[in-house]
Amino acid sequence: MNFYLNHLYRFSKSLIYDEQKFFWKRIHDPNGEFVARWNHIFLFFAFVGLFVDPLFLLLPIIRETCMSTDNVLGYTILIFRSMVDCVAFFQIYLKFRTAFVSKKTRVFGKGELVMNERKIAFRYMKSDFGIDLAAALPLPQIVIWFIMPLNGSSATHANHAITLIIMIQYVPRLCVIFPLNAKIIRNTGVVAKTAWSGAAYNLLLYLLASHVLGSIWYLMAIERHFSCWKDECAKKPKDSPDCNKDYLDCSSLSKRRREEWAESTVVFKKCDASDDEISFQFGMFGDASSQQVTSAGIVDRYFYCLWWGLKSLCSYGQSITTSVNIVETLFSSLICLLGLVFFALLIGNMQSYLQSMTARLEEWRVRRRDTEEWMRHRQLPEDLQDRVRRFVQYKWLATRGVEEGKILLSLPLDLRRQIQRHLCLALVRRVPFFSQMDDQLLDAICECLVLSLNTRDTYIVREGDPVNEMLFIIRGQLESSTTNGGRSGFFNTTTLNPGDFCGEELLTWALVPNPNLNLPSSTRTVKCLTEVEAFALRAEKLKFVANQFRRLHSKKLQHAFRYYSHQWRTWGACYIQAAWRRYRRKTLAEELSREEGLYYGGGMDQDDDYGHQYPEAGFDGGNAPGHATESSFQQLGATILASRFAANTRRAKVTRVDTDESSLSMPKLFKPDEPDFSEDRS
């Protein structure tokens, strides 16, 4: 009883039972389909978050005489940031509901899943919970909505606070991305399923790095411009109005004293980056002021910063002109190092992904080159070389270099059967002989079939050669011909189309109870008229199927085999043709005999009548002498005997016509060997 209770308890804690619960109460399998899909979705939103956060650095803008914040852009970014944070919190919840594999059970196999909620939570709290929570906290929203609203606070203070938060929170967001990327690769093998998507993925990473560097450069350009204003404001002449730093913020534009100061100050003229006579050095940030990037719209501002970051990474910082400022020097050095590392990673990863697309093509090219060198070394004739090239090209077009046999052999038996059934069953059923079989026997035959490719003018088998496979045509045409063992005056040919088969002699050999070890000889010559794609059934596989399945010996299959076999069709056609010719010869001989009998029989009747009438006339004539009458009777008797002998000779010659010897006779075609379809086999 305890055993059953324990088994029921373990079942209630399993994933099979857990799937019956509501979604928010389930414990998910870390290697399951749902978790795998969710990891890809969260990876996408994590990259969106990494893209959105640097946009906060583009909020400050420089007007003509003050600095302000782009409020429309700020609130738009907050909306997207809130969506990303909601997804991040759902990821945290899902990790609390995802089982893990115990390390103690990983000795054999995948290991045992831990389904206990407390153990899952305790393990997660000790490992990744702190980083995930730091990455998901909505700190920019809290600062902008509650602490420093964009409309009511100084642009300088708000920008400094937001920049600090973004910089600090960007590190845990990166720490979330890299383990997630490694987890996806560990569970599924790759992040991107295709080579092009993998190359695009690495290119997006490179563009993201350029976007981050461009945003940082823009923020530092704003700070450098604002520093110039503050330095010039501190150098005000004695007779000028006081320069308050609050005047540099656009929130003080409505103040009267600020207007008076703006009319008399020279701060803005001395901080014009386009003027070469100013003493302040903008360094690597001069383009932002001279090109009016700091006062442009968001679209122009963003793409210019992205271009600057991409240009700096690709050139390893060589296009940057810096001043002696230590911050600029360190930033330029960082750009140089990051450009070298990121560019090397981009080229290496993209090369790996793109090479995976052309690996088989390059392998085929190398094999083709080796084949050409081998043919030249062996000095093969041109016609053979053309046939070899045609076969190599046709095989590449049909398989694209994929070895289907190796792939199928690496799969489990049941999965291999299902794949073979999917690939071959519909094609095998197109063969009329196989359409008479049941599904179990067809599955066994499909499992034994292998793909066979042949080019035009290739001989599959020649008459008299041993037959080692049956061929079931998928595409193309074959010519099947026979001379009945080289007999003179006999030639039969037919065309095999998709759905036909050849090599039926092998079926006769396989169904023999105690077959000879020697393979049967082919009675036909089979030649490819076009490129042919077919399934081949080897001799040993066919023998195995014949021994294992007794249903192959039924009378129904016997009749189907005789009907669809071209060998039996040829024999039947020749047999019917020979019988018809014998019948015609016999009918012709009988008709000729009948006509000659009627003709000669009519002549003898006239001779008999004349013999009876002539003596009667001589007897009545009484005027002739006696010796003349006797000689006339003797001559008349000799004439009658000669005519009767000639008539009998003609009749005998007509009746002795040999029906077996005639110029219309056909060569004798022997009956094909009949398979043993009997079910009772010893």
- Per-residue model confidence (pLDDT) at position 168: 86
Contacts of 492 (CB under 8 A, 6+ apart): 481, 482, 483, 484, 570, 573, 574
Q: What 8-state DSSP symbol labels residue 411?
A: S
- Average of pLDDT values for 2-29? 54
Helix axes 195-234, 33-52, angle to 10 degrees: 30
pLDDT at 682 over 70: no
- Average of pLDDT values for 169-185? 85
Mean of per-residue pLDDT scores for the chain: 75
Task: Count CA atoms within 13 Å of residue 540 on its CB side.
Answer: 1
Q: Any idea of the CA torsion for 606, 611, 616, 619, to the nearest 10 degrees?
A: 150
- Per-residue model confidence (pLDDT) at position 370: 86
In which band, very low, low, confident or very high, does the pLDDT at 536 lie, cut at 50, 70 and 90?
Answer: confident
Q: What is the pLDDT of residues 114-133, one digit of tens each?
A: 888 888 888 888 888 989 89
- Average of pLDDT values for 34-43? 87
Contacts of 253 (CB under 8 A, 6+ apart): 66, 259
pLDDT at 660 over 50: no
- Per-residue model confidence (pLDDT) at position 571: 72
**459-461 and 492-496: which strand pairing?**
unpaired
466: which strand partners?
521
Consecutive H or E run containing 195: helix 195-234
Q: In 3D, which of 60, 285, 73 has the Cα closest to residue 159?
A: 60
pLDDT at 329 over 50: yes
The gap from C-alpha 246 to its chain's centroid, in whole angstroms, comes to 66
Contacts of 30 (CB under 8 A, 6+ apart): 98, 99, 100, 101, 113, 187
Residue where the block lists tokens 């010519």 = 479
- Per-residue model confidence (pLDDT) at position 377: 85
- Average of pLDDT values for 74-97? 90
In which band, very low, low, confident or very high, does the pLDDT at 612 lie, cut at 50, 70 and 90?
Answer: very low
Q: What is the pLDDT of residues 573-587, one digit of tens each?
A: 777 888 888 888 888
Contacts of 267 (CB under 8 A, 6+ apart): 229, 232, 233, 243
- Average of pLDDT values for 513-532? 80
In which band, very low, low, confident or very high, does the pLDDT at 647 lie, cut at 50, 70 and 90?
Answer: low
Q: In 3D, which of 326, 676, 348 has the Cα closest to residue 511?
A: 676
The whole-angstrom separation of Cα 272 and Cα 604 is 148
Among 217-226, 228-237, 315-324, the range scoring the smallest mean pLDDT is 228-237
In which band, very low, low, confident or very high, does the pLDDT at 22 lie, cut at 50, 70 and 90?
Answer: low
In which band, very low, low, confident or very high, does the pLDDT at 545 lie, cut at 50, 70 and 90?
Answer: confident
pLDDT at 86 over 90: yes
- Average of pLDDT values for 145-166? 71
pLDDT at 623 over 60: no
Show the tokens assigned to 75: 């609130």
Among 380-389, 462-471, 503-512, the range scoring the smallest mean pLDDT is 503-512
In which band, very low, low, confident or very high, does the pLDDT at 512 lie, cut at 50, 70 and 90?
Answer: low
Q: What is the pLDDT of residues 274-309, one digit of tens each?
A: 777 777 778 888 888 888 888 888 899 899 999 999
Show the tokens assigned to 271: 């901080």
Identify the residue with better confidence: 268 or 337.
Answer: 337
- Per-residue model confidence (pLDDT) at position 654: 43
- Average of pLDDT values for 190-196? 69
Q: What is the pLDDT of residues 55-77, one digit of tens each?
A: 988 888 887 778 888 888 888 99
Q: In 3D, which of 536, 531, 535 has the Cα closest to residue 394?
A: 531
| Contact criterion met (CB below 8 Å) for 330 and 286 | no
Identify the residue with better confidence: 618 or 301.
Answer: 301
